[in-house]
Amino acid sequence: MQYAAVTGIGQTQYKARRGDVSIAGLVHEAAQNALDDAGLGWDAIEAVIIGKAPDMFEGVIMPEVYLADALGCSGKPMLRVHTAGSVGGSTALVAASHVQSGTFRRVLTVTFEKQSESNAMWALSNPQPFSPHLNAGAGGYFAPIMREYMRRSGAPWDTGIKVAVKDRLHGSRNPLNHLQMPEITMQEVEESPMLWDPIRFLESCPSSDGACAMVIADEGLAKEGPKAPVWIRGGAMRSEPTMYAGRDEVNPQAGRDCAADVYAQAGIDDPRKQLDCAEVYVPFSWYEPMWLENLGFAEEGEGWKLTMDGATSLDEGGDIPWNCSGGVLCSNPIGASGMIRFAEAARQVRGDAGAHQVVGARTALGHAYGGGAQFYAMWVVSVDK
Amino acid sequence: MSDLLRQQFVLGYTYTRSTGPVVGRFLTELRQRKIVGTRGDDGRVFVPPMEFDPVTASALDEFVEVSDRGEVVSWCWISEPRDSHPFDEPFAWALVLLDGADVPMVHAVAAPEAEMHTGMRVQARWSEEPRGYITDIACFEPEVTQGEG
């Protein structure tokens, strides 16, 4: 297998509504930023790997066809990836695999969502014949799973509130974020409306417009770039059905298996110690302690202790800061959200994460999940090959 | 044997579209009964305008106003219009190359079938109250030149 590295990263500003651009304009902006970052023109790209959340969100079916011109795909291979909310991560991994396999030497990968044009709230709760309409939305679907986590672990009731504050404080260091809440307090979160018990309004992700792109190149080309290459040390995807007898929805098997695979590839046996930071898909506050356990940063039932002790907080000097960028709780252009995690992990390793940089970060985890917490994508990136 | 049930159901959601600076400008100009295109990196004028050059992928921002008259480069006769068609009477779908443009655009031509031919000159018939829709150009019809009245 060839070595592959991230050589360019481009993001848009994340906002509730990017009314100034079309969908094509949005993806082009991120892609152009990634090319500029890599010091490249469109000609340098051999293939484009694009992802977004389900087509039903914006109601544009197969949008990749319409986006080919905006992404310089004329005469080049283009591939679309579909894995619901984890698609940003999966798309990066599919792009990386095209380089690792030797199929292409340098690819562009892009993901996006324009939630201001979409109907993401209900478009996954389709009415079905012979059934009452569930009408749950993501928050309603995940709320009972978080309740079950609270029951099992005995976590303090305000663990989620602590995550919501921590990620917004992190996020206020990142000017790209949709939500900018530098003054947020535990009390403010606690007093925000309860949407889906136990999730309050301020414990939930926003709906954002945005796109994220990366250039991924092989070893020879990566070393030619203006910035230090970020080496992809491991990448893994796993899926499981939404429902099956005995499924553990709090600590899904697919997530544990995916983590074990990516850690094995990267030579990691103690993620809390060997990783310097992690960008993990936490769209609802309680998913931080749940994923701390699922990803092996804490024993089962103990994840909340890391959160409450400040271990995951940059501001509290924690040993394993999670979501220094502010995470999904600060910006959520769904299809791009996973790739933003992957890209932000790469920024940390490259040392150009600005005010949310973890000093001396060398190895980082990027994580995405999607569907009914059934699709997982993860990568470990490092300054070391 | 028991009945095997079947049921129809309707799936539908509401969406929004942002046209962006290029398609948005094209539609806005239609309200003034003007047709604009964008100039590509190789000098070609695209009408309707393209946001991104189909060869180089660069963002196109040079707008060029073109004529509302042009030439039919290809056409197909609709002898039995359906409800969703713009006319009740037979008409043609045509590729019309506007004067000043380098690529043709699809639109309807209202003319007798006997007059339709490749190379025929046409001009836009504007709607009474243009509002920023492609249908502000109600259709194209045979060109009337000065002197013909």
A1-25: string of b/e by CB count within 10 Å (b at 16+)?
eebbbbbbbbbbebbeebbebbbbb
Is B12 domain-assigned?
A: no
3-state secondary structure chain B: CCCCCCCCCCCCCCCCCCCHHHHHHHHHHHCCCCEEEEECCCCCEECCCCCECCCCCCECCCEEEECCEEEEEEEEEECCCCCCCCCCCCEEEEEEEECCCCCCEEEEECCCHHHCCCCCEEEEEECCCCCCCHHHEEEEEECCCCCCC
Q: Can you identify the CATH homologous superfamily of domain A4-117+208-222?
A: Thiolase/Chalcone synthase (3.40.47.10)
Q: Which of A22, A43, A110 to mutate to test the interface with B (most CBs of B within 10 A)?
A: A22
What gap in Å lies between CA A252 and CA A247, rounded to an integer? Answer: 7
What gap in Å lies between CA A97 and CA A81, rounded to an integer? Answer: 13
Assess contact for A89 and A368: CB atoms under 8 A.
Answer: yes
Task: Look at B51 and A28 and tell me if their CB atoms are within 8 Å.
Answer: yes
Question: In chain B, how many domains are there?
Answer: 1
Is B136 domain-assigned?
A: yes
User: What is the extent of the structural domain holding B114?
Assistant: 20-142
Beta strands B137-142 and B121-126 are antiparallel
DSSP state of A311: T
Task: Look at B15 and A59 and tell me if their CB atoms are within 8 Å.
Answer: yes
The radius of gyration computed from the CA coordinates of chain A, to the nearest angstrom, equals 19
**Least CB–CB distance from A72: residue in B7, B51, B57:** B57
Is B10 domain-assigned?
A: no
Which among A37, A42, A27, A49 is positioned nearest to A7, based on CA atoms?
A37
What gap in Å lies between CA A298 and CA B101, rounded to an integer? Answer: 65
Is B30 domain-assigned?
A: yes
Confidence at B149, pLDDT banded by 50, 70, 90: very low
Residues of B in contact with A117 (CB under 8 A): 15-18
Task: Look at B7 and A126 and tell me if their CB atoms are within 8 Å.
Answer: no
- Burial (CB < 10 A; 0-12, 13-18, 19+), residue A253, is middle
Residues of A in contact with B9 (CB under 8 A): 127-129
3-state secondary structure A45-100: CCEEEEEECCCCCCCCCCHHHHCCHHHCCCCCCEEEECCHHHHHHHHHHHHHHHHH
Is B147 domain-assigned?
A: no
Q: What are the tens digits of pLDDT across the range B80-137?
A: 999 999 999 999 999 999 999 999 999 999 999 999 999 999 999 999 999 999 999 9
Instruction: Collect all residues from B whose CB is shorter than 8 A from any CB in A.
Output: 5, 7-9, 11, 13-24, 50-59
Residues of A in contact with B12 (CB under 8 A): none
Q: Which of B3, B17, B18 to mutate to test the interface with A (most CBs of A within 10 A)?
A: B18
Task: Look at B9 and A127 and tell me if their CB atoms are within 8 Å.
Answer: yes
Q: What are the tens digits of pLDDT across the range A289-310?
A: 999 999 999 999 999 999 999 9
ipTM field: 0.89
> What does the DSSP assignment read for A17-35?
--TTS-HHHHHHHHHHHHH
Q: What are the tens digits of pLDDT across the range A222-270?
A: 999 899 999 999 999 999 999 999 999 999 999 999 999 999 999 999 9
Instruction: Collect all residues from A whose CB is shorter than 8 A from any CB in B.
Output: 18-25, 28, 32, 42, 56, 58-59, 69-72, 74, 114, 116-119, 122-123, 126-130
